[in-house]
Structure 1
Amino acid sequence: MSKCIYLVEDDDDIRFIVEYVLIEEGYEVKAFGTASEFHKGLSTNKIDLIILDVMLPDGNGIDICRKLKTNNQTSHIPVVIMSAHAAEKSILEEACADGFINKPFDLKDLTNQIKTHLKT
């Protein structure tokens, strides 16, 4: 069974590319353009990893990550933050994230980081 990744990214082009690459790598991907879409789509089904953009039109990836990490039902899910505007160390600490991807990113680096967090 393939691993399920939730992707929250408001930029349509970046979301499309990341989703495409992850599907080609054999992952099941559920992609969302806003925080509210993500919250509506968040299910009790098995989620193996969440990739969160920091700047969303209706929310903040750091806040979303913190809420996920303090909720007993979701705290075990690895969360990787993506941002072009943030320093890695401060984001990891502030958001309690498991990983950080700096935009712009190399697709090979993206897939390697995902594999590391999924231990595949």
Structure 2
Amino acid sequence: MEAKKVFIFDDNSDILELCTFILEDAGYEVRTSESSNDIEQQVIDFMPDLIFMDNWLPDIGGIEATQKLKSNPLLKNIPVVYFSANNDIKSLSEQAGADSFLSKPFDINILEEVVHSYLRT
């Protein structure tokens, strides 16, 4: 069976490494990016089953990046989990049109639960 794919956008390489380690260990295929540059093409090239989107990203930022994905007919059905250390993450996530959100710093078990809830086979 083909592994489910998770794409993580975050400008913090430590977080990308940690998430990649956890999710690959759990059997997912992971791709990461530190910028939202050309976001739609990045996502089309990988066609993930789930996307994690940081709020603070170089280029266009998480809100606009999520809005672009959600307005693209090819990509709009891919769930986006907004994740940020911002206190206002719930409203940022709503503004972006994300499917849900995860506060940073996050518990590894919660990260796995969120991924599992979207990618349960």
In the alignment, the residues of structure 2 paired with residue 115 and residue 37 of structure 1 have an alpha-carbon distance, to the nearest angstrom, of 28
Where do 4+ consecutive residues of structure 1 move more than 3 Å? Answer: 37-40
The structure-2 alpha-carbon separation of the partners of 1:115 and 1:105, relative to structure 1 and needing over 3 Å to count, comes to same
- Structure-2 residue corresponding to 1:23: 24
User: Cα deviation per residue 1:74-110 (whole Å; 9 max; x = unaligned)?
Assistant: 0100000110014233123201111101010001001
User: What is the letter of the counterpart of residue 75 of structure 2?
Assistant: T
User: What is the letter of the counterpart of residue 12 of structure 2?
Assistant: D
In the alignment, the residues of structure 2 paired with residue 44 and residue 12 of structure 1 have an alpha-carbon distance, to the nearest angstrom, of 21
8 Å contact kept, 1:52–1:79: yes
8 Å contact kept, 2:40–2:69: no
- Structure-2 residue corresponding to 1:33: 34
In the alignment, the residues of structure 2 paired with residue 71 and residue 45 of structure 1 have an alpha-carbon distance, to the nearest angstrom, of 15
- Structure-2 residue corresponding to 1:99: 100
- Structure-2 residue corresponding to 1:53: 54
User: Cα deviation per residue 1:42-99 (whole Å; 9 max; x = unaligned)?
Assistant: 3255320111111012221111111111111101000001100142331232011111
Alignment RMSD: 1.7
Which sits farther off after the overlay, 45-54 or 86-95?
86-95
In the alignment, the residues of structure 2 paired with residue 108 and residue 46 of structure 1 have an alpha-carbon distance, to the nearest angstrom, of 25
In the alignment, the residues of structure 2 paired with residue 23 and residue 67 of structure 1 have an alpha-carbon distance, to the nearest angstrom, of 27
Any gaps of 5 or more consecutive residues in structure 1? none
- Structure-2 residue corresponding to 1:3: 4
In the alignment, the residues of structure 2 paired with residue 94 and residue 118 of structure 1 have an alpha-carbon distance, to the nearest angstrom, of 24
- Structure-1 residue corresponding to 2:111: 110
Query: How far apart are residue 119 of structure 1 and its match?
Result: 2.9
- Structure-2 residue corresponding to 1:79: 80
Any gaps of 5 or more consecutive residues in structure 2? none
User: What is the letter of the counterpart of residue 49 of structure 1?
Assistant: L
In the alignment, the residues of structure 1 paired with residue 65 and residue 88 of structure 2 have an alpha-carbon distance, to the nearest angstrom, of 18
User: Cα deviation per residue 1:9-63 (whole Å; 9 max; x = unaligned)?
Assistant: 1111111001111100100001111112755533255320111111012221111
